[in-house]
Chain A
Amino acid sequence: MSDTAVSSRDTTAPGKRPFLSPLNQRRWQNFKANKRGYWSLWLFLVLFIVSLFAEFVANDKPLLVSYKGEILAPVLVDYPEEKFGGFLAVTDYRDPVIQDEIQSNGWMIWPPVRYNYRTVNREIPQAAPAKPSWLYTPEERCKQYTEGVNDPNCNMGNWNWLGTDDQARDVLARVIYGFRISVLFGLSLTFFSAILGVSAGAVQGYFGGWVDLLFQRFIEIWSSIPVLFLILIIASVLPPGFWILLGIMLMFSWVSFVGVVRAEFLRARNFEYVNAARALGVSNRTIMFRHLLPNAMVATLTFLPFILNSSITSLTSLDFLGLGLPPGSASLGELLAQGKENLQAPWLGFTGFVVISLMLSLLIFVGEATRDAFDPRKTFR
């Protein structure tokens, strides 16, 4: 994530010089030299990109359907059931009647996992939460299907690879969707708080004096407001959703950037090349963007993965407490809460723990490699 940000910053003159400036090339080399961080970055990118296409990986709709010579894409379009001779507003492709109708008039391709995060599996072999499917014998696994072991729907696609939760929803599907929403929440919170925090820090550091003094006092008062209580209060008035949670957390998370950026600007505004730019008649805004921001970016980028992690953790903990995303949404925190409630179903707790710790560790390793890459003293290896 960090390296793309760097390259986009420095490629203002395409065609005139290599894609990465020599400085950034050296940083990329340093990043790659940290093997753990480098592999973490790739692994994370793969997981993240897969989860971005969650609808194509885990869904209760087929990817492609050929019905009476017509090619349909149920993943992208909601077809009413009338199309297949039913009466519901939205087609339930898991219904054996609809399946038979389509199979006899064409074919359909399912995603690898035939559940999305809220699909209830009505054919679980025991009362929810059900164990992972591979822990059952074929007979047990298929006993709820009408034709037993021979039922065409009792196949790998309908397995619950990681079991189901206490509402008979597939855990694997929920983990894929939950990973996506956690990372997206973390990324957008980090992105917006970086914009707010960096601009606030930049203004304070560059102008100094009274602006700085007043702003610093304001931040001290502001950051002493207890965030969790505020979320409790607001949650009782507004229904907490993705954007409302993002907004509330954004109100407080930008503060963490201000200190670093302000310090860098205070230090760098007296650099001679900043004075030289002033002597050229360059405006304040251009000086801040072109000459000072790159200095502050190093500190900010180093900081970024850790902020990202703490954003994800705070969303997860809110979900765990039941104050986060609305009920029914895919969330890792809720999975953990279910694990706590259902100690007889250890796969819930284990899955939640492994996924969250893997995600956070990968991001921290990437963050460490980024820190190495931007460390100016690390010239010898």
Chain B
Amino acid sequence: MSDAPLLSVENLAVAFKAGGKDVLAVDHISFDIKHGETVALVGESGSGKSVSALSVLKLLPYPAASHPSGRILFEGEDLLDHDERDLMRVRGNEISMIFQEPMTSLNPLHTIEKQIAEVLKLHQGMDDASARARVLELLNQVGIREPEKRLGSYPHQLSGGQRQRVMIAMSLANEPRLLIADEPTTALDVTVQAQILELLDRLKTQHKMSMLFITHDLGIVRKIADRVCVMTGGKIVESGPTREIFENPQHDYTRHLLAAEPKGKPPRGDASAATVMKGEQVKVWFPIKEGFFRKVVDHVKAVDGIDVTVKAGQTLGVVGESGSGKTTLGLALSRMISSQGAITFEDKRIDGYSFKDMRPLRSQLQIVFQDPYGSLSPRMSISEIIEEGMAIHFPDLNRAERDARVVSVLKEVGLEPESRHRYPHEFSGGQRQRIAIARAMVLNPRFVMLDEPTSALDMSVQAQVVDLLRDLQKRHDLAYLFISHDLKVVRALANDVVVMRNGRVVEYGPADQIFENPQTDYTRALIAAAFNIETAPAGVVSQ
């Protein structure tokens, strides 16, 4: 092959119109992708990495977006000069793209076969029979088991990992020269992430493709990329071969990113600490009803007889793949959904309490949700959000006292108290999660359920949130139930760990013991996927 790069981005700038002014989202970047090479664009959210990738195929919302300067040369042709018709020849044919969210990038109303075949018929003019054969071949390649049975499936019948595989099959259908993958694994479990990355790597070599890989996770970069471009604030601050960047980072920002993995260990658990929350044989069964009279024929056993104990000042980590019942267990313990089995909170049996009975206890039993973008009402200011619970649980406080508490809790979670009259959309993901934590902390809880509080955040922000949580726990002697699929984060926080699968406990013990000496294949697979991004043998974890 010649030395000329397959894709060459020269001095590219992207500007967005906002309030009559042009704001530069990408600030004159240049990079090359050679034949058969994987280049990773790394940066935190808002660094302009996705915008750069989208402008390669001119997929930005024009005319709100514009390119003040730059050229994008694909095999010598400038794509920015192409009109829509020329671009349609390139899109999905020579360059194809995989998006972050497999849930929304497939059309929910069409079968898998129809969606993949559409690409084939459009670009290659295949007839039904040959398209079907090719679809089967593609599904085989991306590792979908029993592809014949899957042809007629709709996207909602597939798991997240399977959907992403279908997306990959679609993007491979026309044997593209370049594959752009925009955070293809961020929405997936760690175990599935490892499988997808392995698949992408294999297919790349098999089809002699080049790949532009966009991610915020340096662990993935180290695993998959030949060269790295580190982006921040719309600029590429450092680029080079992966080994060099990891071993000898030159720029401060790169060093900051490399240092930003969740680290540290939880404080040593005190075995004599008081038990705050105890669940015995907790069961959450959802009935499956059938027939005209809606007879209950079976149950979905989301949580099937689990014993847990959470002690003051300590963290119980709950880990497992998605669908294993982690969140359901947490919601049952905090009495947000009904369940069977005894739940004891500070020596009170609360499993028989009604919603009204629970109200006085709510202040001591708090929840922090996964998605900081969804958990804050966009129509309320920060101080209104934080005050909402106080108005219910501390009705005696007057306005000034409430405000004083808001100020102090914002300081505690590391936010400027002056920002309390602003609205959630003005804050970044990490700041929003801090606000959500402040909302829980202002009520002086004893027990906090943390439902994947870090998985929607950038890697470097995850580390900060973990540090904050650990700090708050030490200061207020809090009991945490920490739910996550990411064992890296769990190791940094948890004293004890429950490993769940299909609503049952696979392993339960002190964190050290689980991480050093896992007893089951399933736990070993979770650990390998989280720490080394390695896949497990077939059948141990779900696809």
A contact set with B: CB distance below 8 Å: 10, 13, 16-17, 21-23, 271-273, 275-283, 290-291, 294, 379-380
Contacts and interface: CB of A to CB of B under 8 A. Distances in A.
Contact of A279 (B367, B377, B380): B367
B439 A280 contact: yes
Nearest to B365: A279
Given A23-B423, A380-B17, A282 B375 contact: no
B336 A291 contact: no
B392 A273 contact: no
B363 A281 contact: yes
B369 interface: yes
Interface of A is mostly: helix
Contact of B336 (A13, A21, A279): A279
B358 A294 contact: no
B443 interface: yes
Interface string B368-388: 011100111111110010001
A24 B374 CA distance: 20
A277 B388 contact: yes
Given A17-B381, A272-B375, A280 B421 contact: no
Interface string B1-41: 00000000000000001100000000000000000000000
A272 B369 CA distance: 7
Interface residues of B, number: 35
Contacts of B362: 279-281
Given A281-B359, A380-B64, A276 B393 contact: no
A281 to B, nearest CB: 3
B436 A280 contact: no
A379 B23 CA distance: 14
A160 to B, nearest CB: 52
Which has the most chain B C-beta neighbours within 10 Å: A17, A22, A272, A279?
A: A279
A280 B381 contact: no
25 contacts: A13-B384, A17-B381, A21-B379, A21-B381, A23-B379, A23-B423, A272-B369, A272-B370, A272-B371, A273-B376, A275-B375, A276-B367, A276-B375, A276-B376, A277-B388, A279-B336, A279-B367, A280-B388, A280-B392, A281-B360, A281-B362, A281-B389, A281-B392, A290-B380, A379-B18
Nearest to A281: B362
B215 interface: no
Contacts, number: 70
A21 B436 CA distance: 21
Given A17-B421, A23-B423, A380-B17, A279 B374 contact: no
Given A16-B421, A272-B369, A279-B366, A291 B358 contact: no
A279 to B, nearest CB: 4
B242 interface: no
Nearest to B390: A280
Contacts of B363: 281
Given A272-B371, A275-B369, A282-B388, 20 more contacts: A16-B421, A17-B381, A21-B381, A21-B423, A271-B374, A272-B375, A273-B374, A273-B375, A276-B439, A277-B388, A279-B367, A280-B366, A281-B393, A282-B389, A290-B377, A290-B380, A290-B388, A380-B17, A380-B18, A380-B64
Contacts of B334: 279
Interface in B165-186: none
Interface string B414-450: 0000000101000000000000100100010000000
